[in-house]
Amino acid sequence: MPEGVKVGSSAKMFLRNGDGRVLVMLRSETSKRFKLIWDLPGGKVDPRESLEEALRRELSEEAGLACGELTELGKRTFDIEGTPCIETLYSAKLIGPPDVHLSDEHVEHRWITIESLFSEEITLMPHLAEFARDCKELQNDD
């Protein structure tokens, strides 16, 4: 990136429960972008916050859940309204019961198989489905 260009940062996680299923949440109709599209837990990183801190905060705020160790799987770059953003994708295992308590950012949740992420079963944000399909660590994770 050229010097002086403002860059946003976000993080998402493939959170697995004890059965190996991944949490997806349906974005609400009031979302700024991607209304009524299935998404993974995560979001923007606040100033002076690490990616891991942001992910744990977002997971707690969005779903009332906690996770164990975070494993980085990869990064992608995209634009949000003309601002470049770097999103880091992680894998983590759920700590505690899988009782989801959604915030008003989402209207529904499901625990689904990795294969369902890139099937026609749900409409997941396209870049996340592509990433899941191509990520060997997700395919081989127990």
Domain count along the chain: 1
Confidence at 1, pLDDT banded by 50, 70, 90:
very low
Residue 46 lies in a domain: yes
Residue 121 lies in a domain: yes
CATH number for the domain harbouring residue 53: 3.90.79.10
Question: Which among 118, 119, 115 has a CA at the least distance from the CA of 127?
Answer: 118
Mean pLDDT confidence for 130-139? 80
Residue 1 lies in a domain: no
Residue 4's pLDDT is what? 54
83 contacts 43 by C-beta, under 8 angstroms: no
19: amino acid identity, one letter: D
Q: Tell me the β-bridge partners of 126.
A: none
Mind listing the pLDDT tens digit for each residue in 36-91?
A: 999 999 999 998 999 999 999 999 999 999 999 999 999 988 777 777 889 999 99
41 contacts 25 by C-beta, under 8 angstroms: yes
Residue 41's pLDDT is what? 96
Question: Which among 45, 70, 69 has a CA at the least distance from the CA of 58?
Answer: 45
